[in-house]
Chains A and B, each alone.
Chain A
């Protein structure tokens, strides 16, 4: 028999159980109402997985619409372990088709992961073979890979992209934002192992393809310049040869060559550097360098045009001012030689320019003075970067103005004891011959969308009247005389008026017999449509710029000028002695009975 106290106690137990159950219900309500949002958010963050969809990278076109960089469909092959039905068949197929070692593939096939990537960047044709086999558990994803149809063409300008299609060097990185586009994404729910859940609503954001970029490079000019540069590099067994071709009127760069160029489709294969010191990465970085803008050099005699501009701007010299050259000039305690050992004797400024006579420029430089000289450097943009749309542009290395004494001023007057980039010199020279406008050298012209409609046209800074128009007119005549009668005569071509200046700069440290031979030229001399510079680094044998660099420029102009539609002008060429009349107001005497001096020594 149950006693009353037992029944009571049973009820106590029941009440106890109900009480605890009630407490737990309260706790549960708290979790599921008050904290519901908090936990739900964490849980969703845990379940959602964002899978990005690559955006198609914009195509790079040359100025005529030729593709320089485009996209090639490639595939990536991966396996999903849990879906594989016939492991051996899968391993055999993957080894056979993709040419991989069996051990490696088997390990990946057996890996119990969500998804194991076997190989990416597989050519579409090869991937199609695998697709035809229709093996369970083998996934083939289509992807795009950057592809450069011309392999080496303008490699150091264009640059290449990395594994994620991101720009690494050159235009590809400078215009990353334009080209890259915006990747899309697929939001899916996954389980704890990362498997995507079927039937779960997925939200998809479509990728926005990158814009196409049209650059000022002209494939034909670039190709031709590359051929010419390669030819002279081989002939002179030079380290490298750089060429820049630009429109001096607006700064559009037609060609920028740095041979040896590397293959953009295999940017990690070293070219022309069979042996290297240090790490391979350093060697690769050197190979990818664009010497026209990333490095500085002592310009040498080509820089005399800047000194001449300064003197004309300051009005401290007339073309017929007389100078005398004994073969050297003593500045303070230093005896600075002219390249012509015996000296040029008595000569006018115009003749001194033509002869590239160092003492003449030392005198002229001294007349200009330090502060006026620096003001003119400033006007010609030598203290600033050119603003070219490529990454890693180097700055000029100049004396501090307060440190420039007579000796420094003298050496600077003929282009020594400081360093600038070739492109800085080309920009300054453009201003000297285009009527005085300081242009911004550039590649990017405009962008288009997928349909081909222009989206954005790039504007570049043009500093008009950086120097006087008259100065520019005089400079054209002076520089033309260098090619017509002076040291640059090897750049002459029939039917065109060419202006230019040669240089042979000894590389530092002095006396090691290493030179950079260069030539800066433009045409037609009266109305420049193209200006170019060629630099031959460490040529063997004869190393004078006038002998080895000038003829290459002449050869290039002979092909490029007709291509650009610049009409031939025989009569003017033949009557070059008389056309000095153009420059009325300035008394120019250009001696036509050119000493035809084959004088290679004259720089």
Chain B
């Protein structure tokens, strides 16, 4: 304290800024933090298990993917811890500009994007590649939560609801044209936030019905998507059903307790890029039904903790952000597992925390950081 007085005005103002920014409470939702850290570490183990063989073969370095993912995990955990100590309310200031930046980036993407895997989804800034659509998910959550919390009183009115959703819808349309699965996730985030805020129920059934019709129309318009459905129902008939079949072989050969960690055969090139979207099938093969249920249980525990935080917070904005993040993580986990088990037509959705991918990992950890920050506020609020 003595130091501060000596250092003068500038230091004071910085200090004040940080005092404002950070919550003084030492409380944080430790179960959520630990389950998150556990999932990250488990993800690193699985990334190494799935990628080491092919990495050794193709790049001559078994730990290639592990090291990269490990660096992002470290960065992500730092970001998470940093954000968890911040007062999430300051995010209100950024939600509108960030939303606009995302829309601009999405519009610019076809012109400045980098192509990879046959799709233009990456933007390269200062040698750092990232996917705007990956950032769009938390930003849509923050933006919708912010606007919905402001308009919560009258959100039951369609006009107000439309005002809340207008920018997210623009972003979603732009994303969906490029990447259907991310579009679906973003739609789910925005819709669930509005659903929770609104006192009404019937109109959401109507919206749900409309969305289903749009989906069906979407499928009928693009015939290649219909073919996808057929590939889903009869994967063995199509060349492009290969990945799905290989995934089923992996899951099926896992049995009750699996072959043991590292013992998967399907990861040895049979499942293409098994460290990405299909990592869960290798989890099944190596750890069996037991391991797979444990992983699903872990995710459900994480979501349950988030729900506890959302329900207990007295702050609507915070609760809605958490709801958006819950939706993001839940939809992604459920869709990924559904794809891997061939329960729905294949679509490329990574498994949060576990699949290989730096941008996604840092984003999802930042989101958990926000939830942790909300949990701190919850404790602070109760103390008053």
Chain A positions within 8 Å of B, measured between CB atoms, are 1-3, 5-7, 9-11, 13-14, 17-18, 20-21, 23-25, 27-29, 31-33, 35-40, 42-44, 46-47, 82, 189, 191-193, 195, 197
Contact of A32 among B57, B256, B268 (CB under 8 A): B256
Say whether A39 contacts B249, CB under 8 Å. yes
**In the complex, what distance in Å separates the CA atom of A93 from the CA atom of B300?**
62
Contact status of A35 and B252, CB under 8 A, knowing A17-B330, A24-B338, A24-B343:
yes
Which of A24, A32, A46 has most chain B Cβ within 10 Å? A32
Which of these, B249, B310, B341, contacts A24 with CB under 8 Å?
B341
A39 vs B259: C-alpha distance in the bound complex, in angstroms? 14
Secondary structure at chain B's binding surface: helix, strand, loop or mixed? helix
In the bound assembly, the distance between CA atoms of A2 and B255 in angstroms comes to 45
B248 touches A32 (CB 8 A): no
The answer to whether A32 and B311 have CB atoms under 8 Å apart is no
A292 to B373, CA, bound (A): 100
Task: Give Cα A20 to B199, complex, Å.
Answer: 24
Bound: A495/B292 CA distance, A: 97
CB-based contact A32/B252 at 8 Å: yes
Which listed residue (A2, A5, A47) contacts B314, Cβ 8 A? A2
Contacts of B254 in A (CB 8 A): 32, 36
Distance in angstroms between the alpha carbons of A32 and B296 in the assembled complex: 15
In the complex, which residue of chain A has the Cβ closest to the Cβ of B314?
A1
A191 to B303, CA, bound (A): 37
For the complex with contacts A21-B333, A189-B265, A193-B57, 10 further pairs of A-B residues with Cβ separation under 8 Å are: A7-B311, A10-B311, A13-B307, A23-B343, A32-B284, A32-B288, A37-B252, A40-B252, A42-B249, A191-B268
Flag the segment in B61-69, B130-138, B190-198 that touches A.
B190-198
Q: 25 A-B contacts, Cβ less than 8 Å apart?
A: A6-B196, A10-B311, A10-B319, A14-B304, A14-B307, A17-B303, A17-B326, A21-B299, A27-B338, A28-B337, A29-B289, A31-B252, A31-B341, A32-B254, A32-B256, A32-B284, A32-B288, A36-B253, A39-B248, A39-B251, A39-B253, A40-B249, A46-B270, A193-B57, A195-B57
Asked if B334 and A39 sit within 8 Å, CB to CB, the answer is no
| A33 cross-chain contacts in B, Cβ below 8 A | 255-256, 289
Beta-carbon contact of B334 and A20 below 8 Å: yes
- Per-residue CB contact flags for chain B residues 224-255 toward chain A (1 = under 8 Å, else 0) read 00000000000000000000000011111111
In whole angstroms, how far apart are the Cα atoms of A29 and B268 in the complex? Answer: 24
Select A40's contact among B255, B310, B311, B323, beta carbons within 8 Å.
B255
Name the B residues within 8 Å of A29 (CB-CB): 289
Query: Among A5, A28, A82, which residue has its beta carbon within 8 angstroms of that of B292?
Result: A28
Expressed in whole angstroms, the Cα–Cα distance for A332 and B255 within the complex equals 93
* Contact mask for chain B residues 130-149; partner A; CB cutoff 8 A; 1 contact, 0 none: 00000000000000000000
What residues on A are CB-neighbors of B255 within 8 Å? 32-33, 36, 40
> Which residues of chain B have C-beta atoms less than 8 A from A2's C-beta?
311, 313-314, 316, 319
Q: Does any Cβ of A come within 8 Å of B266's Cβ?
A: yes
What are the 8 tightest A-B residue pairs by CB atom distance, in nearest-first order? A39-B252, A192-B269, A191-B268, A43-B249, A40-B253, A32-B289, A17-B330, A192-B270
With known contacts A6-B196, A28-B284, A32-B289, A43–B327 Cβ distance under 8 A: no
B53 within 8 A of A: yes
| A118→B152 CA distance, assembly (Å) | 76
Would you give the 0/1 interface string for B284-306, flagging 1 where the beta carbon is closer than 8 Å to chain A? Answer: 10001100110010011001100
A29 to B252, CA, bound (A): 9
Q: How far is the CA of A47 from the CA of B57 in the complex (A)?
A: 18
CB distance from A398 to the nearest CB of B (A): 60
B52 to chain A, nearest CB (A): 12
Residues of the B chain whose Cβ atoms lie less than 8 Å from the Cβ of A37: 252
Q: Bound complex: CA of A189 vs CA of B270, how far in Å?
A: 13
Interface hits, B305-363 → A, CB 8 Å: 307, 310-311, 313-314, 316, 319, 323, 326-327, 330, 333-334, 337-338, 341, 343
B289 x A9 contact (CB < 8 A): no
Q: Which residue of B lies closest to A9 (CB)?
A: B196
Least distance between A7 CB and chain B CB atoms (Å): 5
Give which listed residue, B197, B268, B334, B341, contacts A197 with CB less than 8 A. B268
Specify which chain B residues have a CB less than 8 angstroms from the CB of A17 in the assembled complex.
300, 303, 326, 330, 334
Task: Say whether A6 contacts B270, CB under 8 Å.
Answer: no
Q: Is the CB of A43 within 8 A of B314?
A: no
Given A6-B316, A189-B265, check contact A32 B307 (CB 8 Å). Answer: no
Report whether B311 and A5 are in contact in the complex, using a CB–CB cutoff of 8 Å. Answer: no
Q: For the complex, what is the distance from the CA of A193 to the CA of B270, rounded to whole Å? A: 8
Say which residue of A7, A25, A82 sits within 8 Å of B296 (CB atoms).
A25
- Chain B 90-110: CB-based contact to A (< 8 A → 1; otherwise 0): 000000000000000000000
Let me know if B252 and A192 touch, CB within 8 A: no
Chain B residues with CB under 8 A of A82: 57
B316 and A1 contacting across the interface, CB-CB below 8 Å: yes
Contact A3 B250 (CB under 8 A): no
Compute how far the CA of A516 lies from the CA of B164 in the bound complex, rounded to whole angstroms: 109
Chain B residue numbers with a CB within 8 Å of A40 are 249, 252-253, 255
**What residues of A have a CB within 8 angstroms of the CB of B333 in the complex?**
21
CB of B199, distance to nearest CB on chain A (Å): 5
**By the criterion CB–CB under 8 Å, are A191 and B270 in contact?**
yes
Residues of A contacting B311 in the complex (Cβ-Cβ under 8 angstroms): 2, 7, 10-11
Which residues of B lie under 8 Å from residue A192 when comparing CB positions? Answer: 268-270
Complex: A42 Cα to B247 Cα, angstroms: 12
Residues A18 and B252 in contact, CB atoms below 8 Å apart:
no
Separation in Å of the B331 CB from the closest CB of chain A? Answer: 9
Complex CA gap A31/B293 in Å reads 13
Min C-beta distance of B207 to chain A, whole Å: 14
Q: A20-B334, A28-B341 are in contact. Are A10 and B196 (CB under 8 A)?
A: yes
Contact A21/B296 with A13-B192, A36-B255 known, Cβ cut-off 8 Å: yes
* Cβ–Cβ < 8 Å partners of B296 in chain A: 21, 24-25, 28
Task: Provide the bound-state CA to CA distance between A197 and B53, in Å.
Answer: 11
A53–B325 alpha-carbon span in the complex (Å): 60
Taking the closest CB of chain A, its distance from the CB of B344, in whole angstroms, is 10
Alpha-carbon gap, A82 to B323, bound state (A): 51
Residues on the A chain within 8 Å of B251, using CB: 28, 31-32, 39
Which of B251, B284, B296, B333 has the most chain A CB atoms inside 10 A of its CB? Answer: B251
Q: How many angstroms from the CA of A31 to the CA of B268 in the assembled complex?
A: 21
A47 x B265 contact (CB < 8 A): yes
Tell me, in angstroms, the Cα distance from A29 to B293 when the chains sit together.
9
**A39 to B236 Cα, complex, angstroms:** 12
When distances are taken between beta carbons in the complex, the residues of chain B under 8 Å from A44 are: 253
State in angstroms the CA–CA spacing of A47 and B253 once bound together. 12
Task: Evaluate whether A36 and B252 lie within 8 angstroms (CB atoms) in the complex, with A14-B303, A28-B289, A29-B289 already known.
Answer: yes
Q: Which of A24, A42, A46, A47 contacts B337 (CB 8 A)?
A: A24
Residues of B contacting A195 in the complex (Cβ-Cβ under 8 angstroms): 57, 268
| Assembly CA distance A193 to B54 (angstroms) | 10
- B265 and A43 form a contact (CB under 8 A): yes
Q: Once the chains are docked, how many angstroms separate the CA of A279 from the CA of B249?
A: 51
Q: How far is the CA of A37 from the CA of B292 in the complex (A)?
A: 18
The verdict on A11 contacting B307 (CB below 8 Å), with A82-B57, A189-B265 known, is: yes
Whether A32 pairs with B292 at a CB distance below 8 angstroms is yes
Q: Report Cα–Cα, A27/B266, bound state, in Å.
A: 20
Q: Please judge, given known A-B contacts A5-B199, A40-B255, whether A46 and B269 are in contact too, CB under 8 Å.
A: no
Report B-chain residues with C-beta under 8 Å of the C-beta of A11.
307, 311
Contacts of B289 in A (CB 8 A): 28-29, 32-33
In the bound assembly, the distance between CA atoms of A9 and B284 in angstroms comes to 33
Q: Determine the chain A residues whose CB is within 8 A of the CB of B195 once the complex forms.
A: 9, 13
**Nearest chain B CB to A239 CB, angstrom units:** 59
Is A3 a contact of B293 with CB atoms below 8 Å? no
For the complex formed, measure the closest distance between the CB of B198 and the CB atoms of chain A, giving whole angstroms. Answer: 8
Q: For residue B299, which residues in chain A have a CB less than 8 angstroms away from its CB?
A: 21
Complex: A1 Cα to B195 Cα, angstroms? 16
Chain A residue, CB-CB nearest to B289:
A32
Given contacts A24-B334, A28-B293, A28-B337, contact A18 B316 (CB under 8 A): no
Contacts of B337 in A (CB 8 A): 24, 28
- Looking at the assembled complex, report how far the CB atom of A120 sits from the nearest CB atom of chain B, in whole angstroms: 27
